[in-house]
Amino acid sequence: MRTQVGIVGAGPAGLLLAHLLHLAGIESVVLETRSRAYVEERIRAGLLEQGSVDVLTESGLGARLQREGLAHDGLELRFGGAGHRIDLKGLTGKQVTIYGQQEVVKDLIAARLAYGGPLRFEVADVAVHDLETDAPRITYTEGGEARVLECDLIAGCDGFHGICRPAIPPGVLTAYDRVYPFAWLGILAAAPPASHELIYARHERGFALATMRSPTLSRLYLQCAPEEDIAAWSDDRIWAELHARLARRDGADQVTEGPILQKGITAMRSYVVEPMRHGRLFLAGDAAHIVPPTGAKGMNLAIADIRVLARAIEGFCQGHGSDLLDGYSAKALARIWKAQRFSWWMTSMLHRFDGGDPFEHKVQVAELDYICASRAGAMTLAENYVGLPLD
């Protein structure tokens, strides 16, 4: 088989790239090792910046998003038992929207299949070759048969554990990595959300986050140790800890309990590789960078990468030269590092670090006090949270 762009990975990055290229009249083939059911059902990030909503809507993917997404005008910072609302829309004129990553993936897959774009699930033995030539290849196995996909360009959208980044020769990439000394224990519960907006809570026992997936599904998180055994966390223990960390000084309890449908532990790290290109291979999304989830930037960064990469590929395939492709990595990284800074800042401000250093605790509280009392401080948080400009 031959195509203009071979795309490895059917997550939000790979599928959105294929969709944007289709709109520009550019052929692509998407390869995914997992099943369609797996990629449509795995629970991941659920908050879209205003710019991400705009990209999806402008590309014809906004119907269900506009109908089912939960638009939020603000968020709450809770510390010392009191809540402080940050008016995102009042400060920036923008909103954020709760709409699960799996829902974005479902919309993208439905669109891809509707126009007949090649989308291969459950392929195996995927490998990329001849990256430094004008004719890169992807080899893979489908239904027990070895296949070759000849391309003009390859997009590595296969996530942090994918095959594309490791295929780049040693010494080409520089990796920047930070692993945090804590993790998140997350649950999905059949219970009404604690609030109609997100609550970010700093507590002496550790961080907690109350968010949602729908008016009847709550998504809640607790800071825990990275080596924590999920089996040691009974439902009763989880609810007791959520009640404690999200407690209000006035005694009001917003946490509504319900059956826990899913639970798991998520490691926390910051990771970036530079450059995001080697020859005719271009990395995007989690294949190139990871952010701690505190700033809600993971899926949004992938969408921002793809917006830049799709325009660069369009220019190249339409005969306008390689200048945009050559500038892809630097342009994407400029925004990625700003999002990394914001995610690191939010994480450092809200989590309890090992040892419970009293000085660090006082500094964190002072930082939160400043943000909530200063319009300039609140603006800094708000304009980063709703998303910096895409251009």
d(CA 43, CA 221): 14
Which residue out of 99, 140, 180, 200 is catalytically annotated? Answer: 200
Active-site residue, 351 included: no
Cα of first residue to Cα of last residue in the chain, in angstroms, is 35
Nearest-5° Cα angle at 344, 341 to 349: 125
Active-site residue, 221 included: no
Which residue out of 19, 72, 94, 331 is catalytically annotated? Answer: 72
Backbone angles phi, psi at 376, to 5 degrees: -65, -40
Which residue out of 19, 278, 289, 297 is catalytically annotated? Answer: 297
Which parts of the chain fold into alpha helices (H)?
Answer: 12-23, 36-41, 50-58, 63-68, 88-92, 101-114, 235-245, 298-317, 323-350, 358-373, 375-385
Active-site residue, 176 included: no
Do the Cβ atoms of 347 and 266 come closer than 8 Å?
A: no
Which residue out of 99, 221, 328, 385 is catalytically annotated? Answer: 385
Active-site residue, 84 included: no
Q: Which of 201, 190, 184 shows the shortest CA–CA distance to 256?
A: 190
Which residue out of 12, 136, 292, 293 is catalytically annotated? Answer: 293
d(CA 255, CA 239): 8
Active-site residue, 263 included: no
Do the Cβ atoms of 339 and 387 come closer than 8 Å?
A: no
Q: Which of 383, 338, 367, 369 shows the shortest CA–CA distance to 90?
A: 383
The residues assigned a catalytic role are: 72, 200, 293, 297, 385
